[in-house]
Each structure stands twice: as structure tokens, then as C-alpha cells.
Amino acid sequence: MAASTTHDKTTAGAYEAPETELASSNAMTKTSPWPRRLAVVLVVLVWPLIWVGGLVTTYDAGMSVPDWPGTYGYNLFLYPLSTWLLGPFDLFIEHGHRLLGALVGFVAIGFLVASWRGDSRKWLTVLAAGILVAVIGQGVLGGLRVTMSARVLAMVHGCTGPAFFAMCVVAACVTGQRWHRKSVLASAGVGQSEEGASVSPRMILPVLLIAISYLQIVFGAQLRHALPSTSPGMFAHTAMTHAAIALLFWLLAGITWWRMRGCGDLTLSRPAAGLICLVAVQILLGVGTWIVNYGYPPILESLPGSGSYRLESKNLLDAWIVTGHVATGSLILAFATLLTVRLARRRSVLSTWAHERDA
């Protein structure tokens, strides 16, 4: 009996040892709260930055300030506040876009320093450095678009902004509490129902969602910044492809939610459910954007009011519909990125846990 008790204690100790090591590992990687805080601030700031940038394009205000990096000869931060706030609206949003971008740059510098000094993971410092380089590159692209008056650079600028937003989402995800192995194991049900822990969806669907959502951003940029050389036929083909892929994406989002729901992990199923809702809103905003820019499409001409609708200069509601369509596209990419990172972490942790358990 004593031998059996000793054996049980030894077995329990061998099983608990990995958990002890995990706790020790978690303590090493979470030495400062500042990387997490600054990563969240980046996410909170970048989405409004994309929204204001969309307003700049919606109101054709990209060239309202002809110089860069200054504003009408002033230092960016010394431009008269009264002139900015009380001047023309296009000046207000263009200069405001620059100021908000500079603020994001300062936060990115802080995130790099906090990651380097307050987190032992070297790859996080590399990610933070990449985020800083990306925001600097994004600022240079915006500046060159002004100084060179290049519409192509405006298109590229509109495509790289959402990618930078996705990078910030990754940073916020990997610095959070849910990234630690103990939290992942708890979300997977380890210790309660180990059968559910072995169920982990494949990566192909979330990765496919990222690829398609970014492809949609590229198509949208081509429609929004259409070049003079674009033929009407090519424009119509791009618009129809954009609309068809949106419906396909909605279907894939539903399948992805069903797959994530099957593993019982709310940290996966909730972002997947959010994707379904966001894509539904995005489709409605896309229809509204087309109506605002080009009138009712033939398929909707039977709706009440379509016959009397006239295209006019964009009012506030029209501008918010068009800009909301742009900003929601970036939000969809961010949700797809969040889902992919969480699933990748879950699969990695459960694979390591299963190997340790079997050993």
C-alpha cells in the first residue's frame, strides 16, 4: 500500500512538473505590463487613423496640404491650432490625419522600447521593430503621394494601412494573458475534459480568410483610386469580382465559425461569429457605397425611391457610408488575423502539451 502511494505521488509529480515549468515560463515572459498596454493603444489608435485616412480620400482632401512633412511651411506640430480647427474641412482632416499618424509613430517607438526592456522574448522585439518600420514607411508613402501627386501611391498607401493594422493586432494578441500556455490550456478544457483538448480546427480556413480579406482590400483600392487609364469594362469587371468574392467570404466565415464552435473554445468561436456580423455589415455598406457613388444598380431599381434618387455632392451621411465601408474592411482583416493567431497558438500549445503528457 505504501509502495502504491509512493508510486502515485511520483506519477502525480511527473504530471504536474510540466505545469510548474509552464508557470515559470509564463513568469519569465510577462515581466512588464507596458508592452501589452502600448500594443492595445496602437490598435485603438490605428483604426481611427484608417477611418480619417478614408475621409481624406472620400472628400478628395489628399492634396489640400501641398507640402510635406510640414504643413504650409509650418512644422507639423506648430501649425496654428485656430487655423486647423476653424479652417476648411479638407484641411482639418488632412492635417489631423498627419497628426494622428505621428502619434501612432510615437506609440510605436514606446512599444519597441517596452518590448526590448520589459519582455524576454526576442522575437517580440523584432515584431515591435517591424511595426515601427511599417509606420515610418506608411508615413513616407503618404508624404510622397503629396509631393509627387501620384494616384498610384495613394492606392498603395490605402493597401498597406490595413496590413499595418493587422500587425498591431498580432502585437496585442501575443502580449496578452491569453497567449500564455496556462490560459490556452484552460480555454481548451485541459483538466476538465481532455477529450475536447484534442479537437483543434485546421489552419487553412482562417489563413484563407486573411488572404481573401486582403485581396478584397486591394480590389477596393483599385475601385476607389481608379486610374485614368482604367477602361470602363475593366472597372466593371473589378467591381463584379469584388462583390462576388464578398459573398464567398461570407460563406467561408460561416463555415469557419461552425468549425471553431465545434472545438468549444470561446476565444476562437467569438471572433469567428464577429466576422460573420462584420461581413454582413460590410456587404450592406458596399451596396450603399455603390449607390452613393454611381446610383442604384439595375438589380435594385425596383426598390422604393430608386427612380427619384439623384447623385449629388456627398453629404455627411454619404461620406460616412463610403468611409465606413473602407474602415470595416480593415476591421474584417483584423478579426481574421486575431482568429488565425489564436488558433495557431492553441495548436502549438496543445501539441506540446500532448507530447509532454505522453512522455
pLDDT by residue for the chain (359 residues), tens only, comes to 444 444 443 333 333 434 444 444 444 444 789 999 999 999 999 999 999 999 998 888 888 899 999 999 999 999 999 999 999 999 999 999 999 999 999 999 999 999 999 989 999 999 999 999 999 999 999 999 888 888 899 899 999 999 999 999 999 999 998 888 778 777 777 755 555 455 678 899 999 999 999 999 999 999 998 888 889 999 999 999 999 999 999 999 999 999 998 888 888 999 999 999 999 999 999 999 998 888 887 777 777 766 667 667 667 888 899 999 999 999 999 999 999 999 999 988 888 887 777 77
- Spatial distance between the Cα atoms of 308 and 139, rounded to a whole number of angstroms: 43
Contacts of 59 (CB under 8 A, 6+ apart): 89, 90, 93, 314, 319
- Spatial distance between the Cα atoms of 6 and 13, rounded to a whole number of angstroms: 11
Closest by CA to 134, choosing from 107, 99, 161, is 161
| Cα separation values, 106 from 111, 136, 167, 225, 336, Å | 9, 10, 16, 29, 27
- Spatial distance between the Cα atoms of 342 and 28, rounded to a whole number of angstroms: 21
Q: Tell me what pLDDT residue 252 has.
A: 96
Amino acid at 310: R
Instruction: Say what the pTM is.
Output: 0.87
- Spatial distance between the Cα atoms of 344 and 202, rounded to a whole number of angstroms: 9
**Which single residue is written with the C-alpha cell 508615413?**
139
- Spatial distance between the Cα atoms of 84 and 76, rounded to a whole number of angstroms: 11
- Spatial distance between the Cα atoms of 345 and 206, rounded to a whole number of angstroms: 13
Angle (CA) 126-132-138 rounded to 5° is: 135
Closest by CA to 278, choosing from 319, 220, 335, 223, is 335
Q: Are 301 and 237 in contact (CB under 8 A)?
A: no
